[in-house]
């Protein structure tokens, strides 16, 4: 069995990013910390995330339920074969942890893991926003992510500590083995689960509050 480990750790600072329109349209400048850069050595993890990692819009990024974003390095070959950009490189999805040996099909809502001296819990899948598409200059990228389910996932911090690249993940608890990140994505993005199952997902105490609200809105629309 392949061990799950951190391949690379990234943090980012808020910066102004200029869209290159090649003179065809007015230049557009937007603020984001999506361009994460690898860091070496140990990194402190607090309830708010990695030390030195910033967010431009805290209404939708960051907070206790979105302290650390993880993305699977194992998706790299798939992305390279589908589109002509290397979004599978470490930090390519704005993630803090680039990990190997885990994916949306194997990670579950509520998973508690030890990494270094920190203890984290899976809180929700990542919902990609327009900034990812703008970063890679691919307007269809967000739709592609929603369709193929290679979204990544968020952790909340149960115990603050220090982590570094190469650390292996130790699974401490798995309270919801059927609710993988992939299954959760199918519920929200595709609505292909029954009302009973969607309600069950919305009632998981470990699921982030923002996801619960989105699921309840979708459930209300079914009636």
Fold assignment, 5-175: M1 Pyruvate Kinase; Domain 3 (2.40.33)
Q: How confident is the model at residue 163 (pLDDT cuts 50, 70, 90)?
A: very high
Beta-bridge partners for 100: 5
Q: Is the pLDDT of residue 32 over 80?
A: yes
Phi and psi of 182, rounded to 5°? -60, -45
List, edge to edge, every strand of the sheet that includes 43-46.
49-50, 43-46, 161-163
Between 24 and 193, residue with greater pLDDT: 193
Q: Where are the beta strands (DSSP E) in the chain?
A: 5-11, 15-18, 29-32, 37-39, 43-46, 49-50, 68-72, 97-100, 112-115, 118-125, 153-159, 161-163, 169-173
pLDDT per residue as tens digits for the range 105-150 = 999 999 999 999 999 999 999 998 889 998 888 889 999 999 999 9
CB atoms within 10 A of CB 18: 10
Query: CA 147, CA 178: separation in Å to the nearest integer?
Result: 20
- For range 75-82, the mean pLDDT: 86
Mean pLDDT over residues 52-68, rounded? Answer: 87
Q: Would you state the pLDDT for residue 198? A: 86
Please, are residues 122 and 99 in contact by the beta-carbon 8 Å criterion?
no
Closest CA to 6 of 90, 128, 104: 90
Spell out the domain ranges in the chain. 5-175
pTM score: 0.93
For residue 5, the SS3 value is strand
């Amino acid at each position: 069995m392949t061990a799950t480990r951190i391949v690379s750790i990234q943090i980012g600072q808020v910066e102004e990013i200029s869209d290159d329109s090649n003179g065809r349209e007015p230049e557009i400048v937007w603020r984001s910390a999506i361009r994460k850069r690898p860091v070496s050595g140990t990194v402190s993890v607090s309830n708010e995330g990695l030390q030195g990692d910033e967010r431009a819009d805290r209404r939708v990024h960051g907070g206790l339920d979105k302290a650390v974003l993880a993305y699977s390095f194992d998706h790299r070959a798939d992305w390279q074969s589908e589109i002509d950009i290397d979004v599978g490189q470490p930090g390519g999805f704005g993630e803090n942890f680039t990990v190997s040996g885990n994916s949306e099909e194997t990670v579950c809502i509520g998973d508690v893991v030890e990494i270094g001296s920190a203890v984290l819990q899976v809180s929700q899948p990542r919902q990609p926003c327009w900034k990812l598409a703008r970063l890679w200059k691919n307007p269809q990228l967000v739709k592609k992510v929603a369709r193929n389910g290679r979204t990544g996932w968020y952790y909340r911090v149960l115990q603050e500590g220090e982590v570094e690249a190469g650390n292996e993940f130790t699974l401490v608890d798995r309270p919801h083995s059927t609710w993988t990140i992939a299954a959760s994505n199918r519920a929200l993005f595709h609505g292909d689960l029954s009302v009973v199952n969607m309600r069950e997902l919305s009632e998981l105490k470990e699921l982030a509050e923002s996801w619960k609200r989105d699921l309840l809105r979708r459930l209300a629309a079914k009636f």
